[in-house]
Amino acid sequence: MESISAFEIIKVGVGPSSSHTMGPWSASERFINRLRRDGNLTRVTQVSVWLYGSLAKTGYGHGTDVAVLMGLSGEDFTKIDTSTIPEKVQQIKTGGMMMLGGEHPIGFDYNSDLVFEFGITLDFHPNGMKIRAMLHDESIVEETYFSIGGGFVVKDGQTADEIINDSKVTPYPCHSARDILNNCRRLNLRVSELVLLNEQTWRSAEEIRVHALHIWDEIKQCVFRGVHRKGVLPGSLNVRRRAYELSKKQLGGRKFADVDAWIEAIRTGPQDFRTVNKWVSIFALAVNEENASFGRIVTAPTNGASGVIPAVLMYAWCFVPHVDEDAVVDFLLTAGEIGTLYKKGATISAAMGGCQAEIGVSSSMAAAALTEILGGTKEQVMQAAEIAMEHHLGMTCDPIGGLVQIPCIERNSMGAMKAITASNIALDEDPTAARVSLDDVIKTMWETARDMNTKYKETSEGGLAVIPVNVIEC
């Protein structure tokens, strides 16, 4: 089985959806890279895109069309100034042309060259898309891609040899919680130490630390942006941003020039349970309001669940004594490794597994990571991850209007609180008395996902998603 880096699970992304925005964006970039590699980019006369299944049904609300246009235009979602996206998209729509790959102008009709196939779902995965380019000699270049959750993309027909050539083998493979525990016992390592050892398959130890702290900086900046922006989120629901007013109220209306001063004010403020509880919610709300606005966030393991890891890590940074940058690195390594277990043993795609595959997985990741930096044993780390997922099993994905807003934003606050609770329980427990293992719960989550009715899997065809918008109060 292929090893997966923790930083493939926790990575810089753009809202509002990892599977419906980042995935199609990446697929479009891959298609452009193929054209460029084969010397065909400047020979293209027309590009057409078809979106299938869940990408069609909730594509408008998730900005899938926007992602495709940006990917085909050669934009990088990890670097683009997200505030410029609406203008760039509007120029393509009104101008009827696109700068393919950022260098080759072609005509592009948004209404006919980008097709939402609402009634067709491809066999391999609900999130399917096809891209076709016609060259000047009328030959065709065509690829079909699947966005399988967390921003991961696979190409239809990819051979086993291609997958193997792209894969990495770590010195101590960890494809299950049992593998992690066995390797930790054999090597006398903590979970984060084992992950650090394996991560050096991709990066040096120093590069791992630098990259982890870069992600931490992105998290802090995202939360800070979220609590300093007010107004209404994009889309038809007119959802009001809440993190701004809540943060302002907690800090008595004071304003702060940078994120470090803002954090210091939180740290030196009240530490009672009610205050801490409110800040955890504020952290999560801030991130997911940014996500809903096409902002830059950290995908962990998906965009719809991108507020959980930041909220729990910010909680630890602001309210737990002796949490430093070393602990931050350990937190992210542990969280990412737990995420890989779900990626390999179940799914992190809401279109496949419902919201248990997003909020549930992120809460499990956060619970394990918090337990690790609070000094829990390797067994307690696994138990915390198990407890958190156990209480998300069966959670549906039913975004109202196809937007990652209701109930998605608040679910991140709830997932963060469950992670903290799961960690607290595990730290006071004897894990040898546990009757359910993390591997058991991952297997159960996957079985639940396969049994779940399709209308509760990010299709906006059931659950809260079918409540009439005009009765909703935001």
Report, as an integer, the average pLDDT of 226-234.
95
The whole-number pLDDT of residue 165 equals 41
Separation of alpha carbons 86 and 94, rounded Å: 12
Dist. CA 9–CA 12, nearest whole Å: 10
Does the pLDDT at position 305 exceed 60? yes
Bridge partner list, 141: 133
Report the amino acid identity of residue 163.
I
The bridge status of strand 97-100 relative to strand 140-149 is unpaired
User: Which residues lie below 8 Å from residue 428, measured CB to CB, with a gap of 6+?
Assistant: none
Place of tokens 């630098």: 210
Tell me the average pLDDT of the chain: 94
What's the DSSP call for residue 31? H
What pLDDT is attached to residue 361?
A: 98
The whole-angstrom separation of Cα 375 and Cα 398 is 37
Domain ranges within the chain, ordered by starting residue: 16-155, 177-467
Give 196-225 pLDDT, tens digit per residue. 999 999 999 999 999 999 999 999 999 999
Q: Could you tell me what percent of the chain has a pLDDT over 70?
A: 97
- The pair of structure tokens assigned to 258 is 């940078």
pLDDT at residue 162, as a whole number: 47
Nearest to 112 by CA among 58, 47, 64: 47
Rounded CA gap, 83 and 88, in Å?
10
User: Averaged over 116-141, what is the pLDDT?
Assistant: 96
pLDDT tens profile 27-80: 999 999 999 999 999 999 999 999 999 999 989 888 999 999 999 999 999 899
β-strand pairing of 44-53 with 114-117: parallel
Strands 152-155 and 114-117: unpaired
Q: With a cut of 90, say whether residue 401 has pLDDT above it.
A: no
Q: Are 356 and 393 in contact (CB under 8 A)?
A: yes
Average pLDDT over residues 362-373: 98
What lies within 8 Å, CB to CB, of 471 at 6+ separation is none
pLDDT of residue 470: 59
CA-CA distances (angstroms) from residue 370 to 91, 204, 426? Answer: 45, 24, 11
pLDDT tops 80 at residue 473: no
Residue 429: phi, psi to the nearest 5?
Answer: -110, 160
Per-residue burial over 3-18, b if 16 or more Cβ lie within 10 Å, else e, is bbbbbbbbbbbbbbbb
User: What string of DSSP letters covers 404-433?
Assistant: S-TTHHHHHHHHHHHHHHHHHHHHTS-GGG
In the structure, what pLDDT confidence band is assigned to residue 2 with cuts at 50, 70 and 90?
confident
Please tell me the predicted confidence (pLDDT) of residue 460.
86
Tell me what the mean pLDDT of segment 357-372 comes to: 98
Which of 341, 361, 338 lies closest to 349 in space, CA to CA?
A: 361
Name the one residue in this structure whose structure tokens are 């925005």. Answer: 21
Per-residue pLDDT, 106: 97
Given a cut of 90, whether residue 471 has pLDDT beyond it is: no
CATH of 16-155, one of 3.30.420.40, 3.30.1330.90, 3.30.460.80, 2.40.30.10: 3.30.1330.90
- Summarised one tens digit per residue, pLDDT across range 52-63 is 999 999 898 889
- Upper half-sphere CA count for residue 412 (Cβ side, 13 Å): 34
Give the per-residue pLDDT at 468: 79
Tell me if residue 277 falls in helix, strand or coil: helix
So what's the pLDDT on residue 13?
A: 93
Which has more confidence, 168 or 314? 314
Task: Tell me the average pLDDT across 238-246.
Answer: 96
Tokens of 156: 């239809």
User: Cα torsion at 431, 434, 440, 444 (round to 10°)?
Assistant: -130
pLDDT digits (tens, 9 = 90+) for 402-460: 899 999 999 999 999 999 999 999 999 999 999 999 999 999 999 999 999 999 998 88
